[in-house]
Amino acid sequence: MKTERRNSFAPVLLGLMAAMLLIQMIQNGTFTRNPELGYALLLVGMVLAAMLFSRRKQQRELAGSAAYLAKSEIPSTRFKDVAANDEALEALRDLVSFIREPENYAVLGARIPRGVLLYGMPGTGKTLMAKALAGEAGVPFFAVNGADFVEMYVGVGASRVRSLFHKARKCGKAVIFFDEIDAIGKKRDNRSDEREQTLNALLSEMSGFGERDGVVVLAATNRVDTLDEALLRAGRFDRQIEVPLPGVAERLQILNVHAGRIRLSDAVSLDALARQTALFSGARLECLLNEAAILAAKRGSDQVEEQDVQRAMERSLFGAEKHGLSRHEHERHITAAHEAGHAVATAVLLPESELTRVSIIPTSRGAAGYSMALPPEKMFHEKQELQCHIAVALAGREAERMLLGADRVSTGASNDIEKAALIARRMVCEWGMLPGSDDIYLFSQQQKDMAAQQWLKQGQQLASQVLAEHHAVWTALTQRLLEKETVDGEEVRRIMQ
């Protein structure tokens, strides 16, 4: 940034030097005796002036080149078009009457938040909500991205911010939406002049609203913790609305909305699909149905069947299956034993989790196989339950140890060990769960590591115990996977019985 600023002054300094030298030549008569030198200096000055004019013109074009600054329209989206997220939508409904009739609040001395920050996981519908707010209020909608304000020329981003707010005020009433606000709103560190000037311009514009202005600023981010404190203070983005991942009922609403454009078979149950898609965002649910429609079209079917939805689900979670990959029979046996170990431990230790599919077909994401279980949605998890999750994660490695011996276990459990270690660390460091103790706090890192290691050890012992007690079931499931490569949850339950 500083180099660009120095480079912009170079033509000015060179032009001034050429002009001063030309004037001195005219005064002492050198220009008359040597006109070629004088004309050369004049030509240099004209070239430098042209360069400066071109650079200034380029900066002005950059400052106003973004087409979004000139575009504003009243969206057709309404709150009824936004499925789920009722709590977040209710918080936005207050702003509709403020935009329409701000004088009613000013008479009573009330001030509705003019800066609203929507935060949450990606794909939860933050942009759609902002558009619905403008559509419900019937005002122009200015949608911009934070990255559009970060340029190489110092001052361009700040100029764009001022131009954007000027255009919004000219409309009288409007909604300005900043997507990915953290691109310009991160905590200041005195490293980027352009980013800081842009942020300062935004802070200044948001503080300059009159009490009767009908302009509301919305912003969306996935990382509210990285935003500058001045941006979050009262009077700017002083209302923060969380847009969480949808629950079961909300996922069903979202699926019904997106299923309206897809020809689904009557055998496809959206209610069952909503229960199977825990932790799916609205965007991911839409992508799931779209992928199912693509798979159905590739089959040549005239409607989307249940098998297309399940294949799309597996692709979303594990990646596409790689049937053409040739593997050694020994590796297939190890994978079958590994995945059977996960499945048996899940069925025994976590009966609330619905085991839907076990496969030893490699996937495009590098997995040699997978065991798919759908956990119940909970707000809290008990210590015993978390220990069972550790045991399930380590059951694949324990199955390999039972099959081959401790000295011949493979590298296939790397991701399982990582998951188990993460749960153990969080149990100790975040949730105050210590093995065999009622204490909560451990202050030294060595104590925390030892406690986490104890949880891993207990989980390993529990997995080994379960597989030893259900050795016949594990063996039968392993053999079934070698024969069919894929076993559904119903067949696993029959084998368990």
Secondary structure (3-state) at 373: strand
Rounded Cα distance, 339 and 135, in Å: 51
Q: Are strands 486-488 and 115-119 parallel, antiparallel or unpaired?
A: unpaired
Q: Which amino acid is at 196?
A: E
Rounded Cα distance, 60 and 45, in Å: 23
Q: Are 375 and 353 in contact (CB under 8 A)?
A: yes
CA–CA–CA angle 248, 250, 251 (5° rounding): 65
> CA torsion 177→183→189→192, rounded to 10°?
-110
Rounded Cα distance, 98 and 79, in Å: 16
469 flagged as catalytic: no
Rounded Cα distance, 153 and 58, in Å: 10
Cβ contacts of residue 315 below 8 Å, gap of 6+?
291
Q: Are 463 and 395 in contact (CB under 8 A)?
A: yes
Distance of CA 164 to the CA centre of its chain: 26
CA atoms 342, 347, 352, 354: torsion sign: positive
In the Cβ-directed half-sphere of 161, how many Cα atoms lie within 13 Å? 28
- CB-based burial label for 485 (10 Å; 0-12, 13-18, 19+): middle
Residue 204 CB neighbours (<10 A)? 13
Task: Copy the structure tokens of residue 192.
Answer: 């980027």
Rounded Cα distance, 495 and 463, in Å: 19
Secondary structure (3-state) at 5: helix
Bridge-partner residues for 219, per DSSP?
A: 117, 178
Query: From the candidates 339, 382, 430, 483, which is the catalytic residue?
Result: 339
What strands lie across the sheet with 173-179, from one edge to the other?
Answer: 141-145, 173-179, 214-221, 115-119, 239-242
Which residues does the annotation mark as catalytic? Answer: 339
